């Protein structure tokens, strides 16, 4: 279920949708790149800001899939690239990490106060899901333009998720992420010579070692354990005050379902958790019904948004 949607042929063209490249200043010397698909009267329409997962980008198939559906449903859509992703290594002096929720608070603030948009949804996958849930909890009631949050398989407790990812049964996923993270760091280091000591990089064998050696220190954390603990959205979920949907699968190989069964989530009145038995990690490839395509999670997100207009 995790792998099938990545390889089944799918039409994900956004041809016919208007598109505007935009850079959002989120910190001094740090910009995030987004692709904006505006409706004819953008201020009159709700807006969906999409955030990809680890080693994804704005062009990931799931990003393009949900973008097309949300736009057809009447939403402005913005496909974001996290820091250094989607060929944007030159736009930030830092790496990206699971704790950078401030980036999306800044984007939300800009859209609300510069563009005059007053009904903005944050939608994220995996690591992006953690980021937007964290942003939603940190904002609380302070930003009335935030209409709600939808997260698919969010890694709300990175300590638990990293441990699961490193289990032998997840070798194929772990190798994929670690190989790509190393390659990205090398590209980043070529732009900023001397900033990172790459002498240990080839010997790193796990993602937790990579994060302890590079991600944590680059992000201002004491070490990998401190980073994993502080970056998790689990600490602020009780502060979310807007309608929130979490879609996760009970068979997700590295986002343990047990994280979502705790009272802090189950009793939070703003959070609705949908957890089918099967779905894998951000896969949810189900037989379509009533004319739907098989990309079940995308369809449920659009239903959720439309049901709260």
Q: What is the pLDDT of residues 69-113, one digit of tens each?
A: 999 999 999 999 999 999 999 999 999 999 999 999 999 999 999
Query: 10: pLDDT confidence band, cut at 50, 70 and 90?
Result: confident
pLDDT in tens, 120-135: 999 999 999 999 999 9
Strand partners for 244? 149, 271
Q: What is the pLDDT of residue 12?
A: 86
State how far the Cα of 224 lies from the Cα of 200, in Å rounded to an integer: 15
CB distance 182 to 201 below 8 Å: yes
Query: 228: pLDDT confidence band, cut at 50, 70 and 90?
Result: very high
Maximum C-alpha span of the chain: 57
Q: What is the pLDDT of residue 6?
A: 78
Q: What is the pLDDT of residue 197?
A: 96
Strand partners for 148? 121
Q: How many residues does the chain have?
A: 309
Mean pLDDT of the chain: 96
Q: What is the pLDDT of residue 130?
A: 98
Cut 0.85: pTM above it? yes
Name the E strands within the chain.
20-27, 30-37, 47-51, 76-80, 120-125, 146-152, 244-247, 271-274
1 pLDDT higher than 90: no
Q: Cα dist. 164→92, 153, 238, 275 in Å?
A: 30, 14, 25, 18
CATH classification for the domain delimited by 4-306, as one of 3.30.70.60, 3.40.50.1820, 3.40.50.300, 3.30.2320.50: 3.40.50.1820
Q: What is the pLDDT of residue 291?
A: 82
Question: Which structure tokens are listed for 148?
Answer: 């709600």
Tell which wins on pLDDT, 145 or 286.
Answer: 145
């Amino acid at each position: 279920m995790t792998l099938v949607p990545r390889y089944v042929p799918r039409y994900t063209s956004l041809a016919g949708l208007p598109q505007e490249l935009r850079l959002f200043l989120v910190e001094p010397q740090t910009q995030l790149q987004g692709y904006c698909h505006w409706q004819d009267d953008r201020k009159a329409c709700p807006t969906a800001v999409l955030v990809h997962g680890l080693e994804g980008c704005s062009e990931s198939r799931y990003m393009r899939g949900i973008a097309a559906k949300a736009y057809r449903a009447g939403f402005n859509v913005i496909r974001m690239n996290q820091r250094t992703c989607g060929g944007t290594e030159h736009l930030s002096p830092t790496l990206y990490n699971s704790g950078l929720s401030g980036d999306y608070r800044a984007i939300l603030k800009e859209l609300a106060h510069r563009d005059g948009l007053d009904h903005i949804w944050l939608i994220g996958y995996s690591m992006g899901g953690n980021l937007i849930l964290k942003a939603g909890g940190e904002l609380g009631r302070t930003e009335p333009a935030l209409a709600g949050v939808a997260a698919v398989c969010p890694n709300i407790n990175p300590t638990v998720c990293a441990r699961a990812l490193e289990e032998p049964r997840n070798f194929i996923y772990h190798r994929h992420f670690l190989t790509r993270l190393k390659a990205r760091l090398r590209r980043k280091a070529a732009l900023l010579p001397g900033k990172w000591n790459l002498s240990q990089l080839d010997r790193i064998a796990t993602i937790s070692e990579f994060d302890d050696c590079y991600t944590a220190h680059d992000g201002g954390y004491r070490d990998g354990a401190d980073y994993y603990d502080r970056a998790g959205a689990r600490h602020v979920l009780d502060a979310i005050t807007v309608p929130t949907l979490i879609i996760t699968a009970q068979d997700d190989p590295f986002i343990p379902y047990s994280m979502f069964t705790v009272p802090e989530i189950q009793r939070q009145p703003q959070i609705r958790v949908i957890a089918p038995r099967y779905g894998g990690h951000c896969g949810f490839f189900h037989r379509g019904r009533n004319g739907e395509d098989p990309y079940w999670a995308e369809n449920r997100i659009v239903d959720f948004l439309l049901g709260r207009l």
